[in-house]
Amino acid sequence: METTKPWYASNAVWASLIQMAVGVAVAMGVVNEVAGTTIIADGPDIAIGFVNGLLGAWSLYGRVRATAQVTA
């Protein structure tokens, strides 16, 4: 891997940044559970878990298929 690219051109970096933003939003209480039935009340947790899973997969995929090293 001899070539380089800027950090903002990396799929893995973007997926990781978005995943961190979701984590911070959850920690700060931006995403709250909705009162109601069990399915609706668990909806935000399920959605957040699904989004985090997709972002983790995107990050891993981006790093595995990378052909250039990221530079700061």
Residue 29 CB coordination number (10 Å): 7
pLDDT at 64: 86
In this structure, are residues 4 and 70 in contact, taking their beta carbons and an 8 Å threshold? yes
pLDDT in tens, 12-45: 899 888 888 887 877 777 765 454 444 445 566 7
pLDDT at 36: 46
Separation of alpha carbons 60 and 25, rounded Å: 22
Structural domains in the chain (count): 1
In this structure, are residues 4 and 64 in contact, taking their beta carbons and an 8 Å threshold? no
Domain containing residue 13: 4-71
pLDDT at 1: 59
pLDDT at 6: 92
The position carrying tokens 């950090």 is 7
Overall pTM surpassing 0.85 (yes/no): no
